[in-house]
Amino acid sequence: MLGIDPGLTRCGMGVVEGSVGRPLTLVDVNVIRTSSTLPVAERLVSIEKGVDAWIEEHRPDAVAVERVFARSDVSTVMGTAQASGIAMVCAARRGLPIALHTPSEVKAAVSGSGRATKQQVGAMVTRILRLDAAPKPADAADALALAITHIWRGGAQARLEQAVARSRGGLRP
């Protein structure tokens, strides 16, 4: 599972392996960084190349991206939305399932509280993945938290949706 915490300056990327009820394992984590001195289009190309390289290297089964939500700073929201769109295009181009998870959903999944702080999320990611230290910067820990959330919640949600579709005659077991 590839988790992506989109951002124009720092785009967190985290790959986690495992399934519900089994220990999860960190495969890789990093942050794609772009300089604010570059034009936005060039920054988006850098993010696209980085996301494509990660998908090519790690071959995830699915991609979980943080759902963009409106904050007071419109320029931050725009950059985040643009980076999010690039991540989704990279995954869709390869036919990978894409899931969007809200920040509060991710916080609740990994910490038990939708209002957890970045430090609490980092601490829980460290504990869940049995790491020696929290991934830095927070964008890296957030990307791993997205991957964890999707493994824990996304798989169950997909099974529920398939069951509903089968009950309506849309899918066969």
Q: Is 52 a catalytic residue?
A: no
- The pLDDT score that the predictor gives to residue 135 is 96
52 annotated as belonging to a binding site for a ligand: no
Spatial distance between the Cα atoms of 160 and 136, rounded to a whole number of angstroms: 35
Q: Is 5 a catalytic residue?
A: yes
Does 172 map to a domain? no
Residues in the chain predicted with pLDDT less than 50, given as ranges, are none
- The pLDDT score that the predictor gives to residue 134 is 95
Q: Which candidate in 28, 57, 73, 139 is catalytic?
A: 139
Spatial contact of 55 and 89, defined as CB atoms under 8 Å apart: no
Residue span of the structural domain in which 32 resides: 2-167
Spatial contact of 82 and 121, defined as CB atoms under 8 Å apart: no
Q: Is 73 a catalytic residue?
A: no
Local structure of residue 9 (DSSP, 8 states) = S
- The pLDDT score that the predictor gives to residue 109 is 96
- The pLDDT score that the predictor gives to residue 165 is 64
Does 138 map to a domain? yes
- Residues counted in the chain: 173
- The pLDDT score that the predictor gives to residue 75 is 77
Does 70 map to a domain? yes
142 annotated as belonging to a binding site for a ligand: no
**170 conformational bin, left if phi > 0, alpha if psi -120 to 50, beta if neither:** alpha
Does 25 map to a domain? yes
25: domain CATH number is 3.30.420.10
5 annotated as belonging to a binding site for a ligand: yes
Does 8 map to a domain? yes
Spatial contact of 120 and 111, defined as CB atoms under 8 Å apart: yes
- The pLDDT score that the predictor gives to residue 39 is 97
Q: What is the value of pTM for the model shown?
A: 0.89
Number of domains in the chain: 1
